[in-house]
Structure 1
Amino acid sequence: MADVTVVELHVAKATRLPMRSVPSVVAEAGKGIVGDRYHGTRHRHVTVQSRTSLDEAADILGREVPSDLTRRNVTVSHGEVPREPGARLRIGGALLEVVRVAAPCKLLDDTIGTGAQDALRRRAGTIFRVVESGTIIRGDAVATLEA
């Protein structure tokens, strides 16, 4: 992931609340993003998606796919986000490890528009667990590490 950076960060305090854009987040090892709805869950700590994948989905859908409406926490500038369980990313001060691919939910058709769930299939990002705590700031570099 050469020259990949964090371009957007989003959190929501509860499952049904809208995502809100923030300039930085604290990722806590074994818990997730402080202040996010999934903080304290077992494995779904942080979700990461690529602007490249969202733009591909937009081409299929025929309209923009806003990153906050996908309900993912971190949007990176470009490239593919690792999907293989065990793969690791260093984002800012945090070390993340892939748990699984994030499946798009049917609610995307309501928030983005009909066909969004299908357009985002295999493009909806990846779910990570936080291995090492750290702060993630918009503009931070993203580095893929060996598992």
Structure 2
Amino acid sequence: MTGRLAGIARHAVPKGPMAVIDTAIVTLEGGIEGDVRGRVKPGGRGRRQVTLIERGDWDAALAAIDRDIPWQERRANLLVEDFDLPHIPGTRLRIGPVLLEITMECDPCHRMDAIADGLRAALTPDWRGGVCTRVIEGGTIRIGDTIRIEES
């Protein structure tokens, strides 16, 4: 099963605006270059270096609240389409040359309700808010790259 990388976003400062980009360098030490959340802190495990959300899950959440909001407002780094993100920590995903390992569900925070009433609840069921990952192998990713589960 393969899908496609449909969006890349990053934010340079905590709570800062998300910048949508077409290409990103991904590193083991910093996640997506220029994204404040990707840097592994001293003694940290880097469990939230890169976050992913499915287009279908984002669309379902918006339908539940009857709103149209750009995907990057979710504050995820990567938007994937035609792909079901596994809900199993330890699963490895290949996007172009980059290898990511799912560490946990990306729980929606209270900031989602600041964007639109009910958005947090709409993102809560069935890992609809996406997944958090750590970088296993870095490289450059681009919109249109294939995403797939990496067989061990």
Which blocks of at least 5 consecutive residues in structure 2 are unaligned? 41-45
Q: Which residue is 2:12 aligned to?
A: 13
Q: Which residue is 1:46 aligned to?
A: 50
What's the CA shift for 1:43?
2.2
What's the CA shift for 1:22?
0.5
Return the alpha-carbon distance in structure 2 between the equivalents of residues 34 and 108 of structure 1. 24
- SS for the counterpart of 1:105 is coil
Q: Which residue is 1:34 aligned to?
A: 33
CA contact (8 A) 1:28 1:34 kept: yes
Between 59-68 and 132-141, the greater mean CA deviation after superposition = 59-68
What's the CA shift for 1:30?
4.2
TM-score of the superposed pair, with normalisation by structure 1: 0.93
Between 122-131 and 21-30, the greater mean CA deviation after superposition = 21-30
Letter in 2 for 1:134: G
Alpha-carbon displacement from aligned partner over 1:9-64 (angstroms, at most 9, x marks no partner): 00000111110100111110243111101132232110011101111111211112
Return the alpha-carbon distance in structure 1 between the equivalents of residues 74 and 107 of structure 2. 10
Return the alpha-carbon distance in structure 2 between the equivalents of residues 44 and 125 of structure 1. 11
What's the CA shift for 1:66?
2.0
CA contact (8 A) 1:30 1:129 kept: no
Alpha-carbon displacement from aligned partner over 1:88-132 (angstroms, at most 9, x marks no partner): 100011000001000001111112x10000001131100000000
The question of 1:24 aligning with 2:23 is answered yes
Return the alpha-carbon distance in structure 2 between the equivalents of residues 105 and 33 of structure 1. 21
The question of 1:137 aligning with 2:142 is answered yes
CA contact (8 A) 1:96 1:128 kept: yes
Return the alpha-carbon distance in structure 1 between the equivalents of residues 84 and 38 of structure 2. 25
Which blocks of at least 5 consecutive residues in structure 1 are unaligned? none
Return the alpha-carbon distance in structure 2 between the equivalents of residues 102 and 38 of structure 1. 13
Q: Which residue is 1:120 aligned to?
A: 123
Q: Which residue is 2:43 aligned to?
A: none
TM-score of the superposed pair, with normalisation by structure 2: 0.90
Instruction: State how 1:63-142 maps to structure 2 within 5 Å.
Output: 63-111=67-115, 113-121=116-124, 122-142=127-147
The question of 1:146 aligning with 2:145 is answered no
Aligned alpha-carbon RMSD (Å): 1.3
Q: Spell out structure 1 runs of 4+ moving beyond 4 A.
A: none
- SS for the counterpart of 2:140 is strand
